[in-house]
Amino acid sequence: MRLAIRVDASTAIGTGHLVRCLTLAACAQARGHEVVIAAADPAPAIAAIAAAAGLPLLDLPPLAPGEAGQARDAAAFRRVAGETDITLVDHYGLDAAWETTVGGPMAVIDDLADRPHACDLLIDQNPYLNGAARYDGRVPARCERLTGPRYALLRDEFIAAAAHVQPRAGLVDRLLVFYGGIDASGETLIALEALSRLEAAALAIEIVVGAANPHLEAVRRAASADRRVTLHVQTNRMAELTAAADLALGAGGSASLERCRLALPALVTITADNQRELSADLQAVGAHRILGDAGAVDADGVARALQSCFNDPEAVGRMSRDAARVFPTDGPMGPAAVMDRLEQVAGR
């Protein structure tokens, strides 16, 4: 099978789309399938992430607005992708107009449910409370909907680590700080400022940032000033660090699923509008606590929230147990379950 992927990633929106597509691509390649992946005018730091995964991004022109822009993008994509058995698109700016122009068996990764699709397979990995019903009237009758964390596109290391992780007892000795691969709003710096105000000498603090973080040098300086901090830049140890932590500071989005898979409770800052619904639903089931929106959450607020967790291990332990319950405990799961369906759609 030859799979072509159209993905969106930038320093503005982050790397979540790219990471989940690369995860699925790795699963496809492990099964002997050929994969090509394309993005519009990717920044060097974005392209480097794909190259490090052994799947260089095919470069498309910048996406123009409107249906005419989608049509031009679809034509450019078909030229660079060549003949394919199935197309997968993960892009908030593309919809049924693009999918119809590209044609052929079509799969879509979405989590907004805010636009029409012309696809055979719809994948939404998020544990929204209203699940597949979010796409009523937005996909064709023929479309199969794979919704919920059973289809979460988590890397193999998270799936492996989940077999050995138990819900936390609630005492916080190790803190993980990760606000995504870009963190354009500088939440990592706010967290470091908050931590500098807390007298928790024995706390081990693991800070994770991407190489494309625009505040990287400032983060390095702040991290070096706190002997409790270990800084990781573009690490491949994310599952290990998540499994070892007792509590996280982070953004909403795909990292929320990684934390839930490993039963890690979190204090969350919403850094993009597309995180809002998922973050609210996860808070409703007790899996994490929302501090607020980027720009409204300051160091004082983060420090107070952390101190409340330090003072209430019972609440932290309960959050961990609720996070663990987000994922099902039986049946096929993860990229392999998605790939099974992609192979079947491609064979139609």
* Helix, strand, coil share of the chain (percent; to 5): 40, 20, 40
| pTM higher than 0.95 | no
Q: Which residues contact 344 (CB under 8 A, 6 or more apart)?
A: none
pLDDT score for 25: 97
Provide the pLDDT confidence category of residue 93 given band limits of 50, 70 and 90.
Answer: very high
pLDDT score for 348: 59
Q: Is residue 282 pLDDT above 80, yes or no?
A: yes
Q: Is residue 287 pLDDT above 90, yes or no?
A: yes
Q: Is residue 203 pLDDT above 80, yes or no?
A: yes
Can you tell me whether residue 90 is helix, strand or coil? strand
pLDDT score for 20: 94
- Alpha helices, DSSP H only, in 139-199? 156-162, 187-196
In degrees and rounded to multiples of 5, residue 298 shows phi and psi of: -110, 180
pLDDT score for 120: 98
pLDDT score for 227: 97
Distance CA 43, CA 235 (A): 19
Q: Is residue 331 pLDDT above 80, yes or no?
A: no
Which tokens hold the place of 137?
A: 């009237």
Q: Is residue 53 pLDDT above 70, yes or no?
A: yes
Distance CA 134, CA 38 (A): 28
Can you tell me whether residue 71 is helix, strand or coil? helix
302 or 44: which leads in pLDDT: 302
Provide the pLDDT confidence category of residue 318 given band limits of 50, 70 and 90.
Answer: very high
Instruction: Locate CATH 3.40.50.2000 in the chain.
Output: 2-152+331-346, 158-324
C-alpha dihedral (258, 264, 269, 272), degrees to nearest 10: 10
Say if residues 180 and 251 touch (Cβ distance below 8 Å).
yes
Element (H, E) at 251: strand 247-251
pLDDT score for 332: 74
Which tokens hold the place of 232?
A: 């990781």
Beta-carbon neighbour count of residue 290 at 10 Å? 18
Q: Name the superfamily (CATH) of residues 158-324.
A: Glycogen Phosphorylase B; (3.40.50.2000)
Please, which residues bridge with residue 124 across strands?
147
Provide the pLDDT confidence category of residue 253 given band limits of 50, 70 and 90.
Answer: confident
The backbone region for 168, taken as left when phi is positive above 0, alpha when psi lies in -120 to 50, beta otherwise, is beta
Report the percentage of the chain scoring pLDDT > 70. Answer: 99
Q: Name the superfamily (CATH) of residues 2-152+331-346.
A: Glycogen Phosphorylase B; (3.40.50.2000)
pLDDT score for 46: 86
If you average pLDDT over residues 253-259, what whole number do you get? 93
Q: Is residue 212 pLDDT above 90, yes or no?
A: no
Provide the pLDDT confidence category of residue 13 given band limits of 50, 70 and 90.
Answer: confident
Distance CA 207, CA 220 (A): 10
Single-letter amino acid, residue 223 = A
